[in-house]
Structure 1
Protein backbone atom coordinates (compact mmCIF):
# COMPACT_ATOMS: atom_id res chain seq x y z
CA UNK A 1 0.00 0.00 0.00
CA UNK A 2 1.50 3.31 -1.03
CA UNK A 3 1.46 6.34 1.26
CA UNK A 4 1.14 9.96 0.14
CA UNK A 5 3.84 12.43 1.07
CA UNK A 6 3.62 16.14 1.67
CA UNK A 7 6.78 18.17 1.63
CA UNK A 8 6.96 21.64 3.18
CA UNK A 9 9.85 24.06 3.15
CA UNK A 10 11.14 26.00 6.12
CA UNK A 11 13.01 29.18 5.29
CA UNK A 12 16.50 29.59 6.75
CA UNK A 13 19.15 32.22 6.38
CA UNK A 14 20.78 30.16 3.64
CA UNK A 15 17.75 28.89 1.75
CA UNK A 16 15.06 26.37 2.58
CA UNK A 17 14.96 22.99 4.30
CA UNK A 18 12.50 20.33 3.16
CA UNK A 19 10.29 18.77 5.83
CA UNK A 20 8.42 15.64 4.76
CA UNK A 21 5.40 14.79 6.92
CA UNK A 22 3.67 11.38 6.91
CA UNK A 23 0.95 10.25 6.57
CA UNK A 24 -1.02 12.78 4.53
CA UNK A 25 -4.31 10.90 4.72
CA UNK A 26 -4.54 11.15 8.51
CA UNK A 27 -6.57 14.02 9.96
CA UNK A 28 -4.17 14.39 12.87
CA UNK A 29 -0.91 12.48 13.19
CA UNK A 30 2.22 12.88 15.27
CA UNK A 31 5.34 13.23 13.17
CA UNK A 32 9.07 13.12 13.74
CA UNK A 33 11.44 15.92 12.79
CA UNK A 34 15.18 16.29 12.54
CA UNK A 35 16.99 18.48 15.10
CA UNK A 36 17.45 21.14 12.40
CA UNK A 37 13.75 21.13 11.55
CA UNK A 38 12.80 21.33 15.21
CA UNK A 39 15.17 24.23 15.68
CA UNK A 40 13.53 26.21 12.89
CA UNK A 41 10.06 25.82 14.37
CA UNK A 42 11.32 26.59 17.86
CA UNK A 43 13.00 29.77 16.65
CA UNK A 44 9.68 31.01 15.28
CA UNK A 45 7.90 30.13 18.52
CA UNK A 46 10.56 31.71 20.70
CA UNK A 47 10.62 34.93 18.65
CA UNK A 48 6.87 35.25 19.06
CA UNK A 49 6.94 34.59 22.82
CA UNK A 50 9.90 36.93 23.27
CA UNK A 51 7.97 39.63 21.44
CA UNK A 52 5.24 39.38 24.06
CA UNK A 53 7.57 39.13 27.07
CA UNK A 54 9.72 42.03 25.92
CA UNK A 55 6.69 44.33 26.08
CA UNK A 56 7.10 44.12 29.85
CA UNK A 57 10.47 45.88 29.57
CA UNK A 58 11.53 48.11 26.66
CA UNK A 59 10.63 46.13 23.60
CA UNK A 60 11.41 46.33 19.89
CA UNK A 61 8.33 46.98 17.79
CA UNK A 62 6.31 44.27 16.09
CA UNK A 63 7.48 45.71 12.75
CA UNK A 64 11.10 45.15 13.80
CA UNK A 65 10.39 41.57 14.78
CA UNK A 66 8.58 40.88 11.51
CA UNK A 67 11.48 42.29 9.53
CA UNK A 68 13.79 40.00 11.54
CA UNK A 69 12.01 36.94 10.12
CA UNK A 70 9.04 36.26 12.37
CA UNK A 71 6.29 35.39 9.87
CA UNK A 72 2.68 35.94 11.00
CA UNK A 73 -0.45 36.15 8.88
CA UNK A 74 -2.38 39.43 8.86
CA UNK A 75 -5.26 38.29 11.04
CA UNK A 76 -2.87 37.01 13.69
CA UNK A 77 -0.84 40.21 13.45
CA UNK A 78 -3.96 42.25 14.25
CA UNK A 79 -4.69 40.08 17.31
CA UNK A 80 -1.11 40.44 18.49
CA UNK A 81 -1.30 44.23 18.21
CA UNK A 82 -4.37 44.16 20.48
CA UNK A 83 -2.66 41.84 22.96
CA UNK A 84 0.45 43.99 23.02
CA UNK A 85 -1.56 47.03 24.09
CA UNK A 86 -2.89 45.04 27.06
CA UNK A 87 0.60 43.77 27.95
CA UNK A 88 1.98 47.32 27.79
CA UNK A 89 -0.69 48.39 30.28
CA UNK A 90 0.43 45.52 32.53
CA UNK A 91 4.01 46.79 32.21
CA UNK A 92 2.93 50.18 33.55
CA UNK A 93 1.05 48.45 36.38
CA UNK A 94 4.24 46.61 37.34
CA UNK A 95 6.22 49.83 37.27
CA UNK A 96 3.72 51.54 39.54
CA UNK A 97 3.86 48.67 42.04
CA UNK A 98 7.55 47.76 42.24
CA UNK A 99 9.53 49.48 39.48
CA UNK A 100 8.76 46.90 36.82
CA UNK A 101 10.88 44.27 35.09
CA UNK A 102 14.60 44.68 34.48
CA UNK A 103 14.80 42.03 31.76
CA UNK A 104 13.28 38.81 30.48
CA UNK A 105 14.67 35.40 29.56
CA UNK A 106 12.69 32.99 27.38
CA UNK A 107 13.48 29.42 26.40
CA UNK A 108 11.30 26.91 24.56
CA UNK A 109 11.23 23.16 24.09
CA UNK A 110 9.32 21.11 21.54
CA UNK A 111 6.81 18.68 23.03
CA UNK A 112 5.11 17.35 19.88
CA UNK A 113 4.57 18.08 16.19
CA UNK A 114 1.48 16.81 14.38
CA UNK A 115 -0.44 17.25 11.13
CA UNK A 116 -3.94 18.67 11.38
CA UNK A 117 -5.43 18.68 7.88
CA UNK A 118 -3.22 20.92 5.74
CA UNK A 119 -1.59 22.55 8.75
CA UNK A 120 1.24 21.75 11.09
CA UNK A 121 0.65 22.10 14.83
CA UNK A 122 3.64 22.28 17.17
CA UNK A 123 3.12 21.96 20.92
CA UNK A 124 5.83 24.00 22.60
CA UNK A 125 6.60 24.54 26.28
CA UNK A 126 7.61 28.08 27.20
CA UNK A 127 9.86 28.76 30.18
CA UNK A 128 9.99 32.49 30.90
CA UNK A 129 11.75 34.46 33.63
CA UNK A 130 10.68 38.02 34.39
CA UNK A 131 13.51 39.63 36.35
CA UNK A 132 12.53 42.07 39.09
CA UNK A 133 14.12 45.49 39.45
CA UNK A 134 16.71 45.69 42.25
CA UNK A 135 15.76 42.73 44.46
CA UNK A 136 17.34 42.49 47.90
CA UNK A 137 19.99 39.75 48.34
CA UNK A 138 17.54 37.47 50.16
CA UNK A 139 14.63 38.08 47.75
CA UNK A 140 13.78 36.14 44.56
CA UNK A 141 15.41 37.65 41.49
CA UNK A 142 12.58 36.77 39.14
CA UNK A 143 9.14 35.36 38.57
CA UNK A 144 9.34 32.15 36.54
CA UNK A 145 6.60 30.24 34.76
CA UNK A 146 6.12 27.30 32.42
CA UNK A 147 3.29 27.30 29.90
CA UNK A 148 2.48 25.09 26.90
CA UNK A 149 1.25 26.54 23.61
CA UNK A 150 -0.12 25.03 20.42
CA UNK A 151 1.39 26.88 17.45
CA UNK A 152 -0.42 26.40 14.14
CA UNK A 153 1.62 26.95 10.97
CA UNK A 154 0.70 27.03 7.29
CA UNK A 155 3.26 26.70 4.52
CA UNK A 156 4.01 30.03 2.83
CA UNK A 157 6.17 30.82 -0.20
CA UNK A 158 9.23 31.47 1.98
CA UNK A 159 8.64 29.23 4.98
CA UNK A 160 6.26 28.63 7.84
CA UNK A 161 3.65 31.32 8.50
CA UNK A 162 2.22 31.32 12.00
CA UNK A 163 -1.58 31.38 11.98
CA UNK A 164 -2.30 31.01 15.67
CA UNK A 165 -0.79 30.47 19.10
CA UNK A 166 -3.09 29.01 21.73
CA UNK A 167 -1.79 28.78 25.31
CA UNK A 168 -2.98 25.81 27.36
CA UNK A 169 -4.76 26.91 30.52
CA UNK A 170 -7.86 25.86 32.38
CA UNK A 171 -10.78 27.94 33.56
CA UNK A 172 -9.90 29.88 36.69
CA UNK A 173 -6.21 30.02 35.80
CA UNK A 174 -4.06 32.97 36.81
CA UNK A 175 -2.55 33.84 33.46
CA UNK A 176 1.04 35.06 33.14
CA UNK A 177 1.61 38.78 32.64
CA UNK A 178 2.64 38.05 29.04
CA UNK A 179 -0.88 36.90 28.20
CA UNK A 180 -3.73 39.35 27.70
CA UNK A 181 -6.03 38.79 30.65
CA UNK A 182 -9.33 37.26 29.56
CA UNK A 183 -12.33 35.80 31.36
CA UNK A 184 -11.54 32.08 31.61
CA UNK A 185 -14.59 31.32 33.73
CA UNK A 186 -14.75 29.48 36.99
CA UNK A 187 -12.29 26.67 37.56
CA UNK A 188 -13.83 23.32 36.69
CA UNK A 189 -14.15 21.64 40.02
CA UNK A 190 -13.80 18.04 39.09
CA UNK A 191 -14.00 18.65 41.72
CA UNK A 192 -17.06 20.76 41.56
CA UNK A 193 -19.04 22.90 43.99
CA UNK A 194 -21.84 20.78 45.44
CA UNK A 195 -24.39 20.95 48.23
CA UNK A 196 -23.78 19.08 51.46
CA UNK A 197 -25.20 15.60 51.80
CA UNK A 198 -28.45 15.21 53.77
CA UNK A 199 -26.66 13.25 56.47
CA UNK A 200 -23.42 15.21 56.96
CA UNK A 201 -20.45 13.86 58.83
CA UNK A 202 -19.69 15.38 62.23
CA UNK A 203 -17.44 18.43 62.38
CA UNK A 204 -13.74 17.65 62.15
CA UNK A 205 -11.82 18.59 65.28
CA UNK A 206 -8.50 20.42 64.91
CA UNK A 207 -5.58 18.00 64.60
CA UNK A 208 -3.37 17.64 67.66
CA UNK A 209 -0.48 15.62 66.27
CA UNK A 210 2.16 15.69 63.54
CA UNK A 211 2.68 19.41 64.08
CA UNK A 212 -0.97 20.33 63.45
CA UNK A 213 -2.64 21.89 66.48
CA UNK A 214 -5.42 24.33 67.40
CA UNK A 215 -3.18 27.21 66.35
CA UNK A 216 -2.32 25.61 63.02
CA UNK A 217 0.84 24.07 61.62
CA UNK A 218 4.06 24.23 63.56
CA UNK A 219 6.92 26.32 62.17
CA UNK A 220 8.73 23.14 61.10
CA UNK A 221 5.68 21.82 59.28
CA UNK A 222 5.03 25.11 57.50
CA UNK A 223 8.60 24.83 56.25
CA UNK A 224 7.68 21.42 54.83
CA UNK A 225 4.78 23.04 52.96
CA UNK A 226 7.16 25.61 51.45
CA UNK A 227 9.77 22.99 50.56
CA UNK A 228 7.12 20.93 48.78
CA UNK A 229 5.85 23.97 46.88
CA UNK A 230 9.37 24.78 45.70
CA UNK A 231 10.25 21.21 44.74
CA UNK A 232 7.12 20.43 42.73
CA UNK A 233 6.13 23.77 41.24
CA UNK A 234 7.50 22.68 37.87
CA UNK A 235 8.09 18.94 38.05
CA UNK A 236 4.84 17.40 39.24
CA UNK A 237 4.93 14.70 41.92
CA UNK A 238 4.21 11.45 40.09
CA UNK A 239 2.67 9.98 43.23
CA UNK A 240 -0.42 12.09 42.51
CA UNK A 241 -2.71 12.58 39.53
CA UNK A 242 -2.73 15.98 37.88
CA UNK A 243 -5.86 17.89 36.89
CA UNK A 244 -6.43 20.33 34.05
CA UNK A 245 -7.09 22.89 36.79
CA UNK A 246 -4.35 21.72 39.15
CA UNK A 247 -3.89 24.60 41.58
CA UNK A 248 -5.84 23.18 44.53
CA UNK A 249 -4.55 19.66 43.94
CA UNK A 250 -1.06 21.16 44.35
CA UNK A 251 -2.09 22.97 47.55
CA UNK A 252 -3.56 19.78 49.04
CA UNK A 253 -0.38 17.87 48.26
CA UNK A 254 1.67 20.55 50.03
CA UNK A 255 -0.63 20.53 53.06
CA UNK A 256 -0.37 16.76 53.20
CA UNK A 257 3.42 17.10 53.18
CA UNK A 258 3.07 19.65 55.99
CA UNK A 259 1.19 17.29 58.28
CA UNK A 260 -2.51 17.41 57.42
CA UNK A 261 -4.13 14.02 57.93
CA UNK A 262 -6.79 12.52 55.69
CA UNK A 263 -10.39 12.74 56.87
CA UNK A 264 -12.71 10.17 55.31
CA UNK A 265 -12.30 7.86 52.33
CA UNK A 266 -14.13 6.11 49.52
CA UNK A 267 -16.55 6.99 46.75
CA UNK A 268 -19.69 7.68 48.75
CA UNK A 269 -18.32 10.51 50.90
CA UNK A 270 -16.35 12.36 48.26
CA UNK A 271 -18.98 15.06 47.67
CA UNK A 272 -19.06 16.16 51.31
CA UNK A 273 -17.11 19.22 52.41
CA UNK A 274 -16.49 17.66 55.85
CA UNK A 275 -13.93 15.27 54.35
CA UNK A 276 -10.53 15.65 52.73
CA UNK A 277 -8.64 12.76 51.17
CA UNK A 278 -6.82 11.47 48.10
CA UNK A 279 -7.79 8.07 46.72
CA UNK A 280 -6.48 5.57 44.16
CA UNK A 281 -8.82 7.00 41.50
CA UNK A 282 -10.51 10.34 40.87
CA UNK A 283 -13.86 8.86 41.92
CA UNK A 284 -12.33 7.90 45.26
CA UNK A 285 -10.88 11.36 45.95
CA UNK A 286 -12.81 14.04 47.82
CA UNK A 287 -13.96 17.18 46.03
CA UNK A 288 -12.23 19.12 48.78
CA UNK A 289 -8.88 17.77 47.58
CA UNK A 290 -8.77 19.55 44.22
CA UNK A 291 -11.73 21.94 44.10
CA UNK A 292 -10.89 25.48 45.23
CA UNK A 293 -14.32 26.30 46.68
CA UNK A 294 -14.62 22.91 48.37
CA UNK A 295 -11.10 23.10 49.80
CA UNK A 296 -11.77 26.53 51.26
CA UNK A 297 -14.98 25.33 52.91
CA UNK A 298 -13.26 22.30 54.41
CA UNK A 299 -10.15 24.15 55.56
CA UNK A 300 -11.73 27.17 57.26
CA UNK A 301 -15.33 26.21 58.08
CA UNK A 302 -15.75 22.46 58.39
CA UNK A 303 -12.40 21.42 59.88
CA UNK A 304 -11.11 24.77 61.16
CA UNK A 305 -7.62 23.72 60.11
CA UNK A 306 -7.10 27.25 58.78
CA UNK A 307 -8.30 30.64 59.99
CA UNK A 308 -8.94 33.95 58.33
CA UNK A 309 -6.18 36.55 58.51
CA UNK A 310 -5.34 39.85 56.84
CA UNK A 311 -3.54 39.69 53.50
CA UNK A 312 -0.67 41.62 55.07
CA UNK A 313 -0.23 38.84 57.66
CA UNK A 314 0.36 36.04 55.14
CA UNK A 315 3.57 34.14 55.87
CA UNK A 316 5.46 31.28 54.19
CA UNK A 317 3.37 28.12 54.33
CA UNK A 318 0.05 29.99 54.32
CA UNK A 319 -2.52 29.68 51.51
CA UNK A 320 -4.19 32.40 49.46
CA UNK A 321 -7.33 31.72 47.43
CA UNK A 322 -9.09 34.01 44.98
CA UNK A 323 -12.39 34.39 43.16
CA UNK A 324 -11.61 36.50 40.10
CA UNK A 325 -15.11 38.04 40.14
CA UNK A 326 -16.59 39.29 43.38
CA UNK A 327 -19.35 37.07 44.70
CA UNK A 328 -18.32 34.06 42.60
CA UNK A 329 -17.02 30.73 43.93
CA UNK A 330 -13.29 30.51 44.49
CA UNK A 331 -11.28 29.99 41.29
CA UNK A 332 -7.66 29.64 42.32
CA UNK A 333 -5.37 28.53 45.17
CA UNK A 334 -1.75 29.62 45.81
CA UNK A 335 1.00 28.91 48.34
CA UNK A 336 3.03 31.66 50.03
CA UNK A 337 6.69 30.62 49.81
CA UNK A 338 8.61 33.79 50.76
CA UNK A 339 8.22 37.32 52.10
CA UNK A 340 10.18 40.42 51.13
CA UNK A 341 10.56 44.13 51.68
CA UNK A 342 7.50 46.37 51.99
CA UNK A 343 5.48 43.34 53.19
CA UNK A 344 5.77 41.66 49.78
CA UNK A 345 4.68 38.02 49.49
CA UNK A 346 5.89 35.55 46.86
CA UNK A 347 3.56 32.85 45.56
CA UNK A 348 3.97 29.42 43.96
CA UNK A 349 1.07 27.73 42.20
CA UNK A 350 -0.02 25.44 39.39
CA UNK A 351 -2.22 26.33 36.40
CA UNK A 352 0.07 27.38 35.01
CA UNK A 353 3.19 26.34 36.93
CA UNK A 354 4.50 29.60 38.40
CA UNK A 355 7.31 30.25 40.86
CA UNK A 356 7.76 33.24 43.15
CA UNK A 357 5.29 35.68 41.65
CA UNK A 358 4.73 38.82 43.71
CA UNK A 359 1.38 39.11 45.44
CA UNK A 360 1.38 42.86 44.76
CA UNK A 361 1.37 42.12 41.03
CA UNK A 362 -1.35 39.51 41.33
CA UNK A 363 -3.55 42.03 43.15
CA UNK A 364 -2.82 44.78 40.63
CA UNK A 365 -3.68 42.49 37.72
CA UNK A 366 -6.91 41.29 39.39
CA UNK A 367 -8.73 44.40 40.65
CA UNK A 368 -12.16 42.74 40.74
CA UNK A 369 -11.17 39.73 42.83
CA UNK A 370 -12.30 38.48 46.23
CA UNK A 371 -9.40 37.26 48.37
CA UNK A 372 -9.35 34.46 50.95
CA UNK A 373 -6.11 34.35 52.98
CA UNK A 374 -5.67 31.25 55.17
CA UNK A 375 -3.37 30.92 58.18
CA UNK A 376 -2.46 27.24 58.09
Structure 2
Protein backbone atom coordinates (compact mmCIF):
# COMPACT_ATOMS: atom_id res chain seq x y z
CA UNK A 1 0.00 0.00 0.00
CA UNK A 2 1.29 3.43 -0.94
CA UNK A 3 1.70 6.07 1.74
CA UNK A 4 0.95 9.79 1.29
CA UNK A 5 4.05 11.97 1.69
CA UNK A 6 4.42 15.70 2.21
CA UNK A 7 5.84 17.88 -0.54
CA UNK A 8 8.94 19.80 0.60
CA UNK A 9 7.85 23.26 -0.51
CA UNK A 10 10.91 25.00 0.90
CA UNK A 11 13.32 22.67 -0.91
CA UNK A 12 11.45 23.25 -4.20
CA UNK A 13 11.58 27.03 -3.61
CA UNK A 14 15.27 26.93 -2.71
CA UNK A 15 16.06 24.98 -5.87
CA UNK A 16 14.03 27.44 -7.95
CA UNK A 17 15.92 30.39 -6.51
CA UNK A 18 19.28 28.66 -6.92
CA UNK A 19 18.76 27.86 -10.62
CA UNK A 20 16.30 30.55 -11.83
CA UNK A 21 19.02 32.56 -13.54
CA UNK A 22 21.20 29.62 -14.55
CA UNK A 23 21.08 25.98 -15.57
CA UNK A 24 21.77 22.88 -13.52
CA UNK A 25 24.37 20.99 -15.60
CA UNK A 26 22.82 17.67 -14.52
CA UNK A 27 19.88 18.39 -16.88
CA UNK A 28 19.50 19.32 -20.53
CA UNK A 29 18.62 22.93 -21.33
CA UNK A 30 15.64 23.09 -23.74
CA UNK A 31 15.74 26.86 -24.25
CA UNK A 32 16.50 26.51 -27.96
CA UNK A 33 13.90 23.76 -28.48
CA UNK A 34 10.71 25.55 -27.47
CA UNK A 35 11.64 26.65 -23.96
CA UNK A 36 12.96 25.34 -20.67
CA UNK A 37 10.15 26.39 -18.33
CA UNK A 38 8.54 22.99 -17.77
CA UNK A 39 11.88 21.22 -17.48
CA UNK A 40 12.83 23.76 -14.79
CA UNK A 41 9.53 23.32 -12.92
CA UNK A 42 9.91 19.54 -13.05
CA UNK A 43 13.38 19.90 -11.54
CA UNK A 44 11.92 22.09 -8.77
CA UNK A 45 9.22 19.52 -7.98
CA UNK A 46 11.81 16.74 -7.96
CA UNK A 47 13.87 18.80 -5.50
CA UNK A 48 10.74 19.06 -3.36
CA UNK A 49 10.83 15.24 -3.04
CA UNK A 50 8.26 14.42 -5.74
CA UNK A 51 9.49 11.06 -7.09
CA UNK A 52 9.98 10.35 -10.76
CA UNK A 53 7.09 8.20 -11.98
CA UNK A 54 7.86 5.26 -14.26
CA UNK A 55 4.37 3.76 -13.88
CA UNK A 56 1.53 4.15 -16.35
CA UNK A 57 0.50 2.68 -19.68
CA UNK A 58 2.19 5.30 -21.86
CA UNK A 59 4.61 8.23 -21.65
CA UNK A 60 1.81 10.70 -20.92
CA UNK A 61 1.00 8.79 -17.71
CA UNK A 62 4.62 8.88 -16.53
CA UNK A 63 6.93 11.68 -15.38
CA UNK A 64 10.69 11.32 -15.49
CA UNK A 65 13.96 12.60 -16.92
CA UNK A 66 17.04 10.38 -17.06
CA UNK A 67 18.64 12.03 -20.09
CA UNK A 68 17.58 13.97 -23.15
CA UNK A 69 16.95 10.67 -24.94
CA UNK A 70 15.24 9.03 -21.93
CA UNK A 71 12.50 11.35 -20.70
CA UNK A 72 8.77 11.92 -20.92
CA UNK A 73 7.00 14.87 -22.57
CA UNK A 74 5.28 15.37 -19.21
CA UNK A 75 8.67 16.46 -17.81
CA UNK A 76 9.41 19.04 -20.52
CA UNK A 77 6.17 20.24 -22.16
CA UNK A 78 3.60 22.49 -20.46
CA UNK A 79 0.29 20.89 -21.50
CA UNK A 80 1.39 17.23 -21.07
CA UNK A 81 2.85 18.27 -17.67
CA UNK A 82 -0.53 19.72 -16.69
CA UNK A 83 -2.46 16.62 -17.78
CA UNK A 84 -0.09 14.37 -15.86
CA UNK A 85 0.03 16.22 -12.55
CA UNK A 86 -3.71 16.92 -12.45
CA UNK A 87 -4.66 13.45 -13.73
CA UNK A 88 -2.27 11.29 -11.71
CA UNK A 89 -4.30 11.40 -8.48
CA UNK A 90 -7.55 12.73 -7.07
CA UNK A 91 -9.46 12.34 -3.81
CA UNK A 92 -10.38 8.74 -4.74
CA UNK A 93 -6.95 7.44 -5.85
CA UNK A 94 -3.59 6.59 -4.39
CA UNK A 95 -1.44 6.22 -7.50
CA UNK A 96 2.33 6.36 -7.20
CA UNK A 97 3.66 9.89 -7.63
CA UNK A 98 2.35 13.41 -7.49
CA UNK A 99 -1.02 14.47 -6.13
CA UNK A 100 -2.07 17.95 -7.27
CA UNK A 101 -5.30 19.80 -7.99
CA UNK A 102 -6.51 23.02 -9.53
CA UNK A 103 -6.54 25.90 -7.06
CA UNK A 104 -7.86 29.39 -6.63
CA UNK A 105 -5.49 32.37 -6.67
CA UNK A 106 -5.70 32.96 -2.91
CA UNK A 107 -4.88 29.29 -2.12
CA UNK A 108 -1.36 29.35 -3.51
CA UNK A 109 1.65 28.63 -1.34
CA UNK A 110 5.38 28.45 -1.85
CA UNK A 111 6.10 25.62 -4.29
CA UNK A 112 2.76 25.72 -6.10
CA UNK A 113 2.61 26.11 -9.88
CA UNK A 114 1.16 28.86 -12.05
CA UNK A 115 0.56 28.19 -15.73
CA UNK A 116 -0.10 30.62 -18.52
CA UNK A 117 -2.78 29.24 -20.81
CA UNK A 118 -4.28 30.11 -24.15
CA UNK A 119 -7.51 28.51 -25.33
CA UNK A 120 -7.32 26.25 -22.22
CA UNK A 121 -3.88 24.88 -23.23
CA UNK A 122 -0.84 25.54 -21.07
CA UNK A 123 2.15 27.12 -22.75
CA UNK A 124 4.24 28.27 -19.77
CA UNK A 125 4.99 27.17 -16.17
CA UNK A 126 6.19 29.16 -13.16
CA UNK A 127 6.73 28.26 -9.49
CA UNK A 128 5.64 30.35 -6.51
CA UNK A 129 8.66 31.32 -4.40
CA UNK A 130 7.06 33.78 -1.98
CA UNK A 131 3.68 35.06 -0.86
CA UNK A 132 3.39 38.84 -0.44
CA UNK A 133 0.90 39.61 2.32
CA UNK A 134 -0.66 42.69 3.84
CA UNK A 135 -1.65 41.26 7.19
CA UNK A 136 -3.59 38.14 6.24
CA UNK A 137 -4.47 39.31 2.71
CA UNK A 138 -2.57 38.17 -0.36
CA UNK A 139 -1.21 41.15 -2.25
CA UNK A 140 0.91 39.28 -4.79
CA UNK A 141 3.12 36.24 -5.32
CA UNK A 142 6.72 36.06 -6.40
CA UNK A 143 7.63 33.48 -9.03
CA UNK A 144 10.70 31.95 -10.62
CA UNK A 145 10.83 30.66 -14.19
CA UNK A 146 13.00 29.68 -17.11
CA UNK A 147 12.48 30.82 -20.71
CA UNK A 148 12.95 34.49 -20.01
CA UNK A 149 14.62 33.62 -16.73
CA UNK A 150 13.14 35.38 -13.72
CA UNK A 151 14.02 35.26 -10.02
CA UNK A 152 11.36 36.28 -7.47
CA UNK A 153 9.39 38.24 -10.05
CA UNK A 154 5.93 39.63 -9.16
CA UNK A 155 3.22 37.42 -10.61
CA UNK A 156 1.05 40.52 -11.02
CA UNK A 157 3.47 41.67 -13.74
CA UNK A 158 2.87 38.55 -15.86
CA UNK A 159 0.42 38.99 -18.73
CA UNK A 160 -1.96 36.27 -19.85
CA UNK A 161 -4.67 33.94 -18.65
CA UNK A 162 -3.54 31.86 -15.67
CA UNK A 163 -4.21 28.46 -14.20
CA UNK A 164 -3.20 27.70 -10.61
CA UNK A 165 -2.06 24.27 -9.41
CA UNK A 166 -1.73 23.26 -5.76
CA UNK A 167 0.79 20.52 -5.10
CA UNK A 168 -0.69 18.44 -2.27
CA UNK A 169 2.08 15.87 -1.98
CA UNK A 170 2.74 12.45 -3.42
CA UNK A 171 2.24 8.73 -2.88
CA UNK A 172 5.21 6.44 -2.47
TM category, shorter:
0.7 to 0.9
| In structure 2, C-alpha distance between the alignment counterparts of 1:278 and 1:329, rounded to whole Å | 23
Name the one with the larger strand percent. 2
CA drift at 1:306 = 0.8
SS at match of 1:316: coil
Counterpart position of 2:42: 252
Structure number with higher relative contact order (C-alpha < 8 Å, ≥ 6 residues apart): 2
| In structure 2, C-alpha distance between the alignment counterparts of 1:208 and 1:333, rounded to whole Å | 28
1:333 aligns with 2:129: no
Residue 373 (structure 1) aligned to one of 159, 164, 171: 164
Counterpart position of 2:150: 354
SS at match of 1:273: helix
CA deviation string 1:146-177 (max 9, x = no partner): xxxxxxxxxxxxxxxxxxxxxxxxxxxxxxxx
Residue correspondences, number: 151
**Structure 2, unaligned stretches of length 5 or more?**
91-98, 168-172
Cα RMSD for the two superposed structures: 2.0
| In structure 1, C-alpha distance between the alignment counterparts of 2:75 and 2:89, rounded to whole Å | 13
Residue 73 (structure 2) aligned to one of 287, 300, 308: 287
Counterpart position of 1:208: 3
Residue 230 (structure 1) aligned to one of 9, 17, 21: 17
SS at match of 1:330: strand
Residue 61 (structure 2) aligned to one of 270, 274, 286: 274
Counterpart position of 1:240: 27
SS at match of 2:151: strand
CA drift at 1:328 = 4.4
CA deviation string 1:71-104 (max 9, x = no partner): xxxxxxxxxxxxxxxxxxxxxxxxxxxxxxxxxx
CA deviation string 1:250-303 (max 9, x = no partner): 0000100111111118xxx7x6221001022x2310010011001111101134
The 5 Å alignment of 1:150-169 reads: none
Give TM-score, length-normalised by structure 2.
0.80
- Cα distance change of structure 1 residues 339 and 375 upon mapping to structure 2, 3 Å threshold: same
| In structure 2, C-alpha distance between the alignment counterparts of 1:308 and 1:329, rounded to whole Å | 14
Which stretches of structure 1, 4 residues or more, deviate above 2 A after TM superposition?
none
| In structure 1, C-alpha distance between the alignment counterparts of 2:54 and 2:40, rounded to whole Å | 19
- Cα distance change of structure 1 residues 303 and 278 upon mapping to structure 2, 3 Å threshold: farther
The 5 Å alignment of 1:168-179 reads: none
SS at match of 2:65: coil
| In structure 1, C-alpha distance between the alignment counterparts of 2:49 and 2:122, rounded to whole Å | 24
Give TM-score, length-normalised by structure 1.
0.38
Larger-gyration structure (1/2): 1
